Amino acid sequence: MYAPNSLMHCLLDTIDGTATAGEDYIKLSEEFVMESGQQEKKITIHVIDDNQWEPDETFFVKLSLPESEENRAKVGSKTVALVTIINDDEPGYIHFEEPINLVKESVGKAEIKVARVNGADGRVSVHYRTKDIEAVATRDYEPADSELVFEHGEISKIIAIPIMNDLDAEKDETFAVELYNPTGGATIGKHGRTVVTIINDDNYITMANKMASLVQVDMDKLSVTKTTWGQQFKDAMTVNGGDLETAKFVHYVGHTFSFFWKILFAFVPPTSIAGGWLTFFVSLLFIAILTAVVGDVAAIFGCLVGLKDSITAISFVALGTSLPDTFASMIAAKNSKTADDAIGNVTGSNSVNVFLGLGLPWLVAAVYWESKNLPFTVKAGDLSFSVLVFSCSCIIGMILLTLRRFLGVFGKAELGGPTIPKYACSIFFVFLWICYLTLSGLQAYGHIYWAA
């Protein structure tokens, strides 16, 4: 501002920018006096301090002259100043205290701690939601999608997720809780997602209830293992393991047809010996012997009825070794919420059948012919065509299983689901097997030409 050496009157006004008068600063509109010879003057504008985080805000200060002074003074080129209010509040970071939380199914709810760190100024909020992993919403836990509010100075909150206790023995299952959309200047910390594991304790509760209800209990019966071979033979010879009170007609029929096999496998050592390792290896030996017997008996039967060895192998031998495993996998799938046990049984049993059951006779034959200084020769025969047809069937089956996983009409699951699609898929897989047998048989008997 330029003026002669005399008393001057000036005007100062504030103008809102992103900052608001009355909320962020005290509005100023006043006239002040510059004394004769005075070069500068200090003007104070009060900023309102609060505990709420806000971004940096601005307002303007305008300098002007009243009409009475315009004839004897003038203002310079810089008549408007920009004032920035720098925020010094720290709303902090919001995150879960632990990246993993464990909760027993019987507790009824999972309490997950959420912490606010590195500042607690102002009122902030954050949203949270649950996501399925292995646990399924509405079946294993109550889904949630809500907002968590932290008042000024508040540094801890608890999210409560109700857990469903279905009293069924099942595997431990997991679901996730994640934070999103923070407000009030807060940000998500390093643990923006936590995994909650629902620990199944139904077996322990059931066992505890049984022990509490029985006054005179035989502790030996609570043991998972059998201490003697004699007990195994005793159980094998009795219907329903000796529990005749709950035995039904189907148990008696099953006992009649399986009596020989129950007695045979009672010779397997009990698991109480050598930590169960002896049971494991002897069981493998029994499986190998039975697989070899099934293969040889099927080969003899095929020879008697005039079937080629390749057809006998993919029909009777395959049924004899794999059909029992199919029912075992079905039982495993029904007794578990996932197909993990069923898949493990399929891959494990087929590995034993192929590498041990069928590999053992090959090993014996190879050793025998080596002792005669002659090579052990196995002709490929129709193997290449059979493998091709089998591989194509497998690809088609995998495509169907993929569709079952992602399409709602199948229940978005490989096993089970709605009744009609479930049985339709089962029939289709049987049809694939029949096509495989038919095409392999036609090729083996010369009706389909295949240059290997």
Band the pLDDT of 208: cuts 50, 70, 90. Answer: low
The whole-number pLDDT of residue 418 equals 84
Alpha helices (H) along 352-418: 359-371, 383-406
Q: d(Cα 144, Cα 192) in Å, to the nearest integer?
A: 16
332 CB-near residues (< 8 Å, 6+ apart): 341, 342, 344, 345
* Residues 259, 260, 262, 263, CA torsion sign: positive
Each as own residue / partner, the long-range contacts of residues 255-260 (CB below 8 Å, 24 or more positions apart, any chain) are: none
Alpha-carbon distances of 346 from 64, 291, 352, rounded to whole Å? 90, 15, 10
Per the CB < 8 A criterion, the answer to whether 199 and 104 are in contact is yes
342 CB-near residues (< 8 Å, 6+ apart): 329, 330, 332, 333, 336, 415
Q: What pTM, to 2 d.p., does this model score? A: 0.46
**pLDDT tens across 25-35, in order?**
888 888 888 77
The whole-number pLDDT of residue 348 equals 77
The whole-number pLDDT of residue 26 equals 85
372 CB-near residues (< 8 Å, 6+ apart): none
Phi, psi of 136 (to 5 degrees): -115, 130
Q: d(Cα 176, Cα 140) in Å, to the nearest integer?
A: 13
Token pair recorded at residue 224? 């998972």
* 147, pLDDT greater than 90: yes
Q: d(Cα 379, Cα 141) in Å, to the nearest integer?
A: 58
DSSP assignment string, 218-265: -GGGG-SS-S-HHHHHHHHHSGGGG--SS--HHHHHHHHHHHHHHHHH
**249-265 helix and 229-237 helix, angle to the nearest 10 degrees:** 150
**pLDDT tens across 410-452, in order?**
878 888 788 888 889 999 999 999 999 899 888 888 888 776 5
- Which range is most confident: 64-73, 81-90, 194-203? 194-203
Band the pLDDT of 363: cuts 50, 70, 90. Answer: confident
Between 333 and 157, the higher pLDDT residue: 157
Looking at 69-123, which runs of residues are DSSP E strands?
Answer: 80-85, 93-96, 100-104, 109-117
The whole-number pLDDT of residue 161 equals 92
* 167, pLDDT greater than 70: no
Alpha helices (H) along 249-358: 249-265, 277-305, 309-312, 318-334, 340-351
Per the CB < 8 A criterion, the answer to whether 265 and 287 are in contact is no
- Run of H or E including 426: helix 419-444
Quickly tell me which residue has 């036609």 as its tokens. Answer: 442
* 2, pLDDT greater than 70: no
Mean pLDDT of 232-256: 77
Fold of 93-203: Immunoglobulin-like (2.60.40)
* 204, pLDDT greater than 70: no
Distance of CA 289 to the CA centre of its chain: 39
* 213, pLDDT greater than 70: no
CA trace torsion 15, 17, 20, 26 (10° rounding): -40
Band the pLDDT of 219: cuts 50, 70, 90. Answer: very low
Q: d(Cα 90, Cα 321) in Å, to the nearest integer?
A: 69
Quickly tell me which residue has 């578990």 as its tokens. Answer: 336
Band the pLDDT of 216: cuts 50, 70, 90. Answer: very low
Q: What is the mean pLDDT of the chain?
A: 80
Band the pLDDT of 129: cuts 50, 70, 90. Answer: very high
* 371, pLDDT greater than 60: yes
* 225, pLDDT greater than 70: no
* 3, pLDDT greater than 60: no
**pLDDT tens across 94-116, in order?**
999 889 898 888 888 899 999 98
Q: Which amino acid is at 254?
A: G
Best CA proximity match to 50, nearest among 117, 150, 123: 123
Fold of 8-85: Immunoglobulin-like (2.60.40)
The whole-number pLDDT of residue 169 equals 60
Mean pLDDT of 331-348: 76
Best CA proximity match to 126, nearest among 117, 114, 137: 114
Token pair recorded at residue 335? 């007794």
Each as own residue / partner, the long-range contacts of residues 439-442 (CB below 8 Å, 24 or more positions apart, any chain) are: 439/385, 439/389, 440/310, 440/311, 440/314, 440/382, 440/385, 440/386, 440/389, 441/311
Token pair recorded at residue 51? 């505990």
